[in-house]
């Protein structure tokens, strides 16, 4: 019983971290036009892509873990 509760809590933590990555990703997208004007968009584009992919992977992993723990 405790093991399934621990797995559910770990999965919920992964989901929260995934949402935080996506929120930070949205913040970077907000500042992307300023980076383009300054002539340095590549760093922002790479960071947006990495954070977006990582956030989605963490969300999927967390939701799958939640479903397994039930």
* Range picked from 7-11, 37-41, 46-50, 57-61 for highest mean pLDDT: 57-61
The residue ranking higher by pLDDT, 21 or 34, is 21
Torsional sign, CA 42, 48, 51, 53: negative
Contact (CB, 8 A) for 17 and 51: no
User: If you average pLDDT over residues 22-36, what whole number do you get?
Assistant: 87
pLDDT band at 17 (very low <50, low <70, confident <90, very high): very high
* Structure confidence at residue 60 (pLDDT): 95
For residue 25, what are the domain limits? 2-69
What pTM was estimated for this model as a whole? 0.83
Structure tokens at 69: 């723990």
User: What total number of domains does the chain contain?
Assistant: 1
Minimal CA–CA distance to 22: which of 58, 65, 46, 62?
Answer: 58
Q: How far is CA 51 from the centre of its chain?
A: 6
């Amino acid at each position: 019983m405790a093991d399934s509760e621990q797995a559910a809590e770990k999965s919920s933590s992964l989901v929260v971290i995934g949402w935080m990555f996506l929120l930070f990703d949205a913040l970077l997208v907000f500042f992307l036009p300023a980076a383009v004007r300054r002539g340095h968009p590549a760093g922002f584009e790479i960071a947006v892509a990495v954070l977006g992919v990582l956030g989605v992977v963490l969300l999927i992993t967390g939701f799958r873990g939640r479903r397994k723990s039930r």
